Amino acid sequence: MTRFIFDLDGTVTKVKILPLLADHFPIRKEIQELLQETSEGNTPFVESFIKRVYMLAKLPIDEVRNCISKIDLCDRVVAFMRSHQQNCVTATTNLRCWVVDIEERTGCPLFCSSASEFDNHILKLTSILKKENVVQRYKSEGEKVVYIGNGNNDVEAMRTADVSIASGLVSPPVSSVLSIADYVVYNEEALCRLLNQLIEC
């Protein structure tokens, strides 16, 4: 069986989640500074993610969830996922309490990070998803794994997968992803055509 693991941000979604939240809530300056530090390589991804969580922890969980629940998804990608629900999952380091509605919209399981909650706010992180662990889980069950992603935090998952696809649907894949990807796609039509070819192999 072929297992497709999709990165969420910019692969399933039509826009990046963090800039969307920065525009929606009064945290634009802090988020922009964090994004710049991370993109320039001054802040490792895990450290950046922890900082991001505690910035957003000031906000009510239901407001963040509601904002993300309305985000536009890549129609053709989601159509493929819904047509092959037994083959597809999504993996994201975002917290489940924020992105859980995506699971219903795609019809596929969603692997996430998690946090403890109190009074509609985040108390503390309890786990940070390592996407490569999701890949290993399905490979250990004898499945062929295809990973689709675009960012630095996708690199180890792509390196571990049997087939890796760099997705440039929303923004160009980072150089570390391009250096290891088996395929590179820049639109939904090309991605779904490739996915259909791989599922038949």
Tell me how crowded residue 42 is: count the other CB atoms within 10 A of its CB: 10
Q: Is the pTM of this model over 0.95?
A: no
Amino acid 41: pLDDT: 61
**76 and 169 co-located in one domain:** yes
Task: Look at residues 51, 67, 83 and tell me which one is the last residue of a structural domain.
Answer: 67
Task: Look at residues 67, 89, 105 and tell me which one is the last residue of a structural domain.
Answer: 67
Condensed to tens digits (0 to 9), the pLDDT of residues 79-111 reads 999 999 999 999 999 999 999 999 999 999 999
* C-alpha torsion sign, points 146, 93, 18, 78: positive
Amino acid 39: pLDDT: 61
Domain count, the chain: 2
Report the CATH number at residue 196: 3.40.50.1000
CB of 167 within 8 A of CB of 11? yes
**11 and 22 co-located in one domain:** no
Amino acid 106: pLDDT: 97
**136 and 48 co-located in one domain:** no
Residues of the chain with confidence (pLDDT) below 70 = 35-43, 201
CB of 21 within 8 A of CB of 49? no
CB of 199 within 8 A of CB of 87? yes
**77 and 49 co-located in one domain:** no
Q: The domain containing residue 30 runs over which residues?
A: 17-67
Amino acid 179: pLDDT: 95
The tokens 């004898």 sit on which residue? 142
**37 and 104 co-located in one domain:** no
Task: Look at residues 52, 67, 82 and tell me which one is the last residue of a structural domain.
Answer: 67
Amino acid 40: pLDDT: 56
**140 and 189 co-located in one domain:** yes
Amino acid 50: pLDDT: 85
Amino acid 38: pLDDT: 65
